[in-house]
Structure 1
């Protein structure tokens, strides 16, 4: 009996340790759409819209670029204003939302144990229904949240249902910011879509050549030839490129990344590939 209890604890404790609640910014944004329907006056509706706009990460007041809900591409602040107009002022839109779950977005590391520890983003899956005069439209949203500040860095619709298939982010890469690239690269890696993950990491190191973290992640993928077997058909070529990336990680990475990268390089040079 005692052995059974110990085994159950070993299984339950890690599960509880990594259990994730809905990020506050996600809860506030989607809750704000529902609150707009209940707003009793303009001042209250304006405050709700401003709270919704503050849920997004941005370098200025316009927010991040969004292409969502069949609308034209627009900044997130303008998107919340449009929702304010349709839901509160015009009463032309009713919304119901359900947060399905939130997961850590992992990244490649030396071994699986450290992936969760190094995660930088959450991804939340949301089911929402928009009811207009012409009927109801259902959307499945992917929302990426930066762990360090809790703000939304990317939001988009997916045609997949979280309950049936794993959603994939869109492949419209031209408008992606650095933080969005990091989130989507790690997300695809988490879902074992290594080809798409590798493409995102390649974009990231191209637009940010001094990003030590990105160089470290793509170095590992290249060495393992995960997502790049077509590009590096010979293992030797992949290893040579991986060592170039790892040198960049050592040169530009944070203290933590530099230490990891040096450890990886030493093991590669000594043919001690234990991961």
Structure 2
């Protein structure tokens, strides 16, 4: 039997790599040494850094376990420098139950890793296609293709198009964070402005983003506008411009009609591939 609290925790957290790997390490310790076993942060770190590539994440940071402690909804707790799985999350379970949970986590991440690798291979193969197929693929990334993280494809594709479009004019657009990272409202950066990206821009999202990065010029990038969003909202001294899918497709069409069209579209796809490798923390 799987403890109901643990089942709820897994349902919420199994897709969060830094959280679930920390838990998985403590679970192994429970399987090997019993329900009351503990590990120090240094012991978790050593094991984390041995396994992190399987979960597509970077090396250990102390807040991966520290921020979980003290929250009733999380399964990990701390006593002095010892970390452990809370007893009320594993109450009523025995070793076969713990092994079943471990297998469930491993199967989930094996499947996710294979899925990500297939997606990266699909992007790579686009470089071998005709110009029209490349263009159709990029457009689909903007409009319809989704990964498990909603909005990931749109953000990566919009950046890749804008990067090449601006690069051809002597300007550099950068993207340092990843989708759903704590980026402080900055998705892309240019010389004099930040870009704020969303799939569906509504009034609340707009107001929230406007409060971020105080007194900084910005450009909004979106897949679509909420029906009740008034474009007059863009009449703000901090907003330089806004870019929707209509403009992004116009830029894509422009790039695909130039003499160097093949190079342009290849660059866009190469940027998409690079950004998704960063999203998945795949080493190049």
Larger radius of gyration: 2
- TM-score calculated relative to the size of structure 2: 0.28
Structure with the higher fraction of residues in helix conformation: 2
Higher RCO structure, 1 or 2 (CA under 8 Å, sep 6+): 2
Structure with the higher fraction of residues in strand conformation: 1
